[in-house]
Structure 1
Amino acid sequence: MASNGSAVPAGPPMSACARLRAMLAQPGHIVTAVGVYDGISARLALNEGFKCLYMTGAGTAASVLGAPDLGITNMTDMATNAGMIAGLDPTVPVIADADTGFGESLAVARTVRAYMAAGVAAMHLEDQPLNKRCGHLGSKELVDEEVYFRRLRAAAATRDALRAQTGQDIVLIARTDSLQKLGYAAAVDRLRRAKAAGAEVAFLEGIATREQLESVCKDLQDTRMPVLLNMVSGGVTPEASVDEARALGFRIIIFPSALLSVVMEAAQAQLRHLKETGLQRVPESRKHRGVKVLFQAMGLDERVAFDKMVGGQSYSEGV
């Protein structure tokens, strides 16, 4: 209440990016983001109460194009998918893979504008060439440091300009894939200098040993940048739980393939069973509920309620 007893007008709602920044500002807190790649995976993660989502580039390549993560997706593929995911619940921050930014400085600026317009809360840019590959594959190539830092400067300048003009915001994450080729010390140094180019979060991709896992947050402590841990199922990084990562000093942990890996396995098993027997396996949860269990997970009840609230009659007799 104001001093005269009148109600204080509510301020504007907090954006997804502002929510993510608030999470990162909490001492000792770690942001846990499960990897999603389409509407179903994103809906299920939201239904389970995850407070942050991660749009995986590998999952986007697989689900949108049916392709491996070899730099085949373009900016439109990625921004469109990220925007769809971010739009399902605008209060939940989405961290999105932006690969290399899809070109030189002007292309990077276009990518940042598209991600910000889509409502993405954070994006990461890497130092691979345009024909990049998944960070947990071998024989990765790198661009020169100046090319990498130019990408980050272009992204930061675009972020800052749009923030001043429109109030939109995005967290810029610097990812380096240089560990495999240049070694740990050089990779950490590259991340340290990425801060001067405008990066706000450090992301050492492909951590390969327990020693590296335990050292990177300490070695980047002087930058005061939060450090992100990428926990890929079956990847090269030693397994660490959310609590272990928090104890080591990581401020964000992403699980890009947590859903994709089990979905692929379950789908293959169903397809083989159908091909061999001519029958499909029906989960117990669907035997007496039919297709409605899927539609309810996708928000059926909320949509029917909305139609009724505005006077619609489409579902007055049920669905």
Structure 2
Amino acid sequence: MSAVQKLRNMLADPDKFIVCPGVYDGYTARIALQEGAECLYMTGAGTTMSRLGMPDMGIATLNDMRDNAAMIASLSPNTPLIADADTGYGGAIMVGRTVQAYIRAGVAGLHLEDQVVSKRCGHLKGKQLVDAAEFTCRIRAAVLARQQTAGGDILLIARTDALQARGYAEALARLRAAVAAGADVAFLEGVASSAEAARLVADLAPTPCLFNNVPAGVSPDFSTREAQLLGFRMAIYPVLALEVVYPAVRRAVRQLLGSGRVQSVEEDGKRWSPRELFEVCGLAECVKFDRAAGGTGWLEGV
């Protein structure tokens, strides 16, 4: 079964809530896979920060995002990967090219939004939107590109950032138009309360809705159970790895520069050897493959 079919089957199960840990590179993806994640989410903010060292302000290009998504998807081809596709990176033709590039990269699902091309993180102020007709055009372009990709499929998630600037009614109308144009899932960015979340799910039923969990952002920090009870069918956690890596690396650098020695970040004082870290990224599988091919580089062990 392909990753996209697996994702569609998960979405078709009314009792299933799809939890997508946010990853931004091969290492964080490997950690999530090791811990049993059934679905991954490639964050656009994390991709921009890790690959370019820049903030999420519309700086990453299609090539940046596609290349990162292709690498992450290749690590476990049967595990669905949902990836941020921002605005589609241009007009209808470019949106179509983006969708086909993501399909060929092995991405199982993507979301497209209604900000202008020079977009910004959905939890920052001052977002500018294209008009509703252009947003719907982006979704139609995505649907056409999916149809025209031989043997290809991808879950299309329509995201609107209209709530903060234009209100709930405008945001709902945009999502309804996107679903009518062929989007599979609705994504309202910046849901402000549990009451608003429940209203959204009811207003868009039976279309499945996605919740974006960004702690300290503009939305409540719903647990997976809370989000499911509100009626959401899936949730993405884009800053999961970013948030925990920042204080850990900062602490280690401060220790090194301050005392000349890095202490453990684990409570029990454990330090991790290179071999243990490599094992997260498939060391045993690589050695096994080499031996099966007749390689001799690892006959004496690792």
TM over 0.5: yes
Which residue of 82, 86, 91 maps to 1:99? 86
| CA deviation after TM superposition for structure 1 residue 286, in Å | 9.0
Deviation at 1:283, TM superposition (A): 5.1
1:184 equivalenced with 2:171 (yes/no) = no
Relative distance call for 1:288 and 1:97 in structure 2 (3 A) is closer
Q: Distance in 2 between matches of 1:205 and 1:191?
A: 11
- Residue 310 (str. 1) matches residue 282 (str. 2): no
Amino acid at match of 1:15: S
Deviation for aligned residue 1:289: 5.8
Between structure 1 and structure 2, the one with the greater Rg is 1
Please say if 1:122 is aligned against 2:106. no
Is residue 133–residue 140 contact of structure 1 (8 Å, CA) maintained in 2? yes
Partner SS for 2:110: strand
Asked if 1:235 is matched to 2:225, the reply is no
Asked if the contact 2:10–2:16 (Cα under 8 Å) also holds between the matched residues in 1, the reply is yes
CA deviation vs aligned residue, 1:112-133 (integer Å, no higher than 9, x gap): 1110000000000000001100
Distance 2:294 2:57 in 1: 49
1:25-64 superposed matches below 5 A: 25-64=12-51
Aligned identity (percent) is 51
SS of the residue corresponding to residue 96 of structure 1 reads: strand
* Map 1:40-189 → 2, pairs under 5 A: 40-162=27-149, 166-189=150-173
Q: Does 1:194 align with 2:178?
A: yes
Equivalent position amino acid for 1:258 in 2 = L
Q: CA deviation at 1:280?
A: 1.8
Deviations 1:54-90 (A, max 9, x none): 0000000000000000000000000000110000000
- Tell me if structure 2 keeps the 8 A contact 1:112–1:159: yes
Structure 1 counterpart of 2:196, from 212, 224, 247: 212
Q: Deviations over 1:6-35 (max 9, x none)?
A: xxxxxxxx1110000000010121111000
Instruction: Give unpaired runs (5+ residues) of structure 1.
Output: 1-13
| Contact 1:47 1:297 survives alignment (8 Å) | yes
CA distance in 1, matches of 2:84, 2:277: 28
TM-score, normalised to structure 2's length? 0.97
Instruction: Confirm whether residue 268 of structure 1 aligns to residue 220 of structure 2.
Output: no
Code of the residue aligned with 1:186 in structure 2: it is E
Aligned-residue Cα RMSD (Å) equals 1.4
- Counterpart of 1:81, as a letter, is N
Contact persistence 2:29–2:40 (CA under 8 A) = yes
Asked if 2 retains the 8 angstrom alpha-carbon contact of 1:286 and 1:293, the reply is no
Displacement after TM superposition at 1:210 (Å): 2.6
Cα distance in 1 for partners of 2:239, 2:103 equals 24
Aligned-pair CA distance for 1:168: 1.3
Say how many residue pairs are matched.
301
Within 1, Cα distance between the matches of 2:271 and 2:62? 43
